[in-house]
Amino acid sequence: MISPSVLLLAVFGMVPVVWAFVLSFQRNDLQTPARWVGLHNYQELIHDPIFRDSIRHTIVYTVFFVPITLVLSLVVAGALNRRIRFITLYRLAVFVPVVTSTVATGVIFTWLLDPQYGIVNATLHRVGLPTSGFFSSPHDALFAIVAMTVWGWVGFGALIFLAGLQSVPRELIEAAQIDGCSKTTAFWRIQVPLLRPVSAFLVVWLTINALQLFDEVYVTTKGGPLDSTTVVVYYLYQQAFAYFHAGYAAAIAVVLFVAIAVVTVVQLRLARDPAAKAVDR
Amino acid sequence: MTTLARSRRPSPWHLVLAPLAALMLVPLVWMLITSLSTEAETRRFPPGLPATLRWGNFRQAWDQAPFGHWLLNSAVVSGTCVISNLFLCSLAGYAFARITFAGRQLAFFAMLATLMVPFQVVMIPTLLIVKHLGLVDTLPALIVPNLVTPFGIYLLRQFFLSLPVELEDAAMIDGAGRVRVLTRILLPLMGPPLTTVAVLTFLSVWNDFLWPLVVTSTPTTMTVQLGLATFQSAHFTNWPLLMAGTLMSQLPVLFLFVIGQRYFVSSIATTGLK
Query: What is the ipTM for the molecules in this complex?
Result: 0.89
Note the pLDDT tens digit of each residue in B15-45: 999 999 999 999 999 999 999 999 989 988 7
Return d(Cα B141, Cα B126) in angstroms, integer.
10
**Which chain A residues are closer than 8 Å to B274 by Cβ?**
98, 102, 152-153, 156, 209
- Name the residue in chain B with its Cα closest to that of A104: B246
Q: What is the CATH number of the domain that holds B111?
A: 1.10.3720.10
Query: Where are chain A's structural domains?
Result: 48-280
Residues 6+ apart with CB under 8 A from B109: none
Mean per-residue pLDDT over chain A, rounded:
90
Return d(Cα A100, Cα A103) in angstroms, integer.
8
Q: What is the mean pLDDT of residues B224-241?
A: 93
B184 in a domain, yes or no?
Answer: yes
Q: What is the mean pLDDT of residues B98-112?
A: 83
* Poorest-pLDDT segment among A87-101, A151-165, A169-183, B35-49: A169-183
DSSP structure string for A148-167: HHHHHHHHHHHHHHHHHHHT
Q: Does residue B238 surpass a pLDDT of 70? A: yes
Min Cα–Cα distance to chain B from A163, Å:
7
Return d(Cα A179, Cα B117) in angstroms, integer.
49
Q: Does residue B271 surpass a pLDDT of 70? A: no
Considering the entire predicted model, what is its pTM? 0.90
B183 in a domain, yes or no?
Answer: yes
* Topology classification of domain A48-280: MetI-like fold (1.10.3720)
* More confident of the two residues A152 and A163: A152
Q: What is the mean pLDDT of residues A6-28?
A: 88
pLDDT band at A281 (very low <50, low <70, confident <90, very high): very low
* More confident of the two residues B238 and B108: B238
Q: Does B234 touch chain A (CB under 8 A)?
A: no
Distance of CA B212 to CAs A89, A231, B140, B246, Å?
34, 20, 11, 18
Handedness of CA B237, B241, B247, B252 (dihedral sign): negative
One-letter amino acid at B94 equals: Y
Whether the CB-CB separation of B83 and B205 falls below 8 Å is answered with: no
Q: Does B89 touch chain A (CB under 8 A)?
A: yes
Q: Does residue B95 surpass a pLDDT of 80? A: yes
CB within 8 Å of chain B, chain A residues 177-236: 201-202, 205, 208-209, 212, 214-215, 218-219, 233, 236
Which residue among A19, A89, A99 places its CB closest to the CB of B21? A89
Q: A20 vs B122: CB contact, 8 Å cut-off?
A: yes
Size of chain B in residues: 274
Q: Does residue B209 surpass a pLDDT of 70? A: yes
Which residue among A20, A99, A107 places its CB closest to the CB of B246? A107
Q: Does residue A268 surpass a pLDDT of 50? A: yes
One-letter amino acid at A222 equals: K
pLDDT band at A277 (very low <50, low <70, confident <90, very high): very low
Greatest Cα pair distance in chain B: 78
Q: Domain containing B91: what range? A: 66-234
B172 in a domain, yes or no?
Answer: yes
Min Cα–Cα distance to chain B from A265, Å:
12
Q: Does residue A183 surpass a pLDDT of 70? A: yes
* More confident of the two residues B106 and A53: A53
pLDDT band at B1 (very low <50, low <70, confident <90, very high): very low
Q: Does residue A276 surpass a pLDDT of 60? A: no
Q: Does residue B264 surpass a pLDDT of 60? A: yes
Q: Does residue B5 surpass a pLDDT of 60? A: no
Q: A153 vs B257: CB contact, 8 Å cut-off?
A: no
Q: Does B21 touch chain A (CB under 8 A)?
A: yes
pLDDT band at B79 (very low <50, low <70, confident <90, very high): very high
* Poorest-pLDDT segment among A108-117, A264-273, B72-81, B251-260: A264-273
Note the pLDDT tens digit of each residue in B161-195: 888 888 888 888 887 788 888 887 888 888 888 99
Q: B274 vs A23: CB contact, 8 Å cut-off?
A: no
Q: Does residue A35 surpass a pLDDT of 70? A: yes
B57 in a domain, yes or no?
Answer: no
pLDDT (0 to 100) of residue B102: 81
- Name the residue in chain A with its Cα closest to that of B231: A107
Q: What is the mean pLDDT of residues B138-153?
A: 92
pLDDT (0 to 100) of residue A140: 95
Query: Which alpha helices (DSSP H) does chain B contain, by range?
Result: 2-6, 14-35, 56-64, 67-98, 104-116, 119-132, 139-143, 150-162, 165-173, 178-180, 191-206, 210-215, 224-234, 239-259, 261-270
Note the pLDDT tens digit of each residue in B115-130: 788 899 999 999 999 9
Return d(Cα A275, Cα B91) in angstroms, integer.
42
pLDDT (0 to 100) of residue B7: 52
Cβ-count burial of A68 within 10 angstroms (0-12 exposed, 13-18 middle, 19+ buried)? middle
Mean per-residue pLDDT over chain B, rounded:
88
Residues 6+ apart with CB under 8 A from A250: A20, A21, A23, A24, A26, A28, A41, B124, B125
Q: What is the mean pLDDT of residues B49-67?
A: 92
Which residue among A30, A112, A218 places its CB closest to the CB of B30? A112
Return d(Cα A213, Cα A231) in angstroms, integer.
7
Distance of CA B174 to CAs B24, B181, B183, Å?
56, 11, 16
Q: Does A257 touch chain B (CB under 8 A)?
A: yes
pLDDT band at A41 (very low <50, low <70, confident <90, very high): very high
The structural domain count of chain B equals 1
Which residue among A13, A205, A237 places its CB closest to the CB of B114? A13
Q: What is the DSSP letter of A26?
A: E
Q: Coil, strand, or helix at residue A99?
A: helix
Q: What is the mean pLDDT of residues B58-63?
A: 94
Q: B228 vs A13: CB contact, 8 Å cut-off?
A: no
pLDDT (0 to 100) of residue B240: 95
Q: Does A143 touch chain B (CB under 8 A)?
A: no
Return d(Cα B129, Cα B107) in angstroms, integer.
21
Closest by CA to B33, choosing from A41, A111, A86, A248, is: A111
**Which chain B residues are closer than 8 Å to A150 by Cβ?**
none
* More confident of the two residues A113 and A2: A113
pLDDT band at B226 (very low <50, low <70, confident <90, very high): very high
Min Cα–Cα distance to chain A from B32, Å:
10
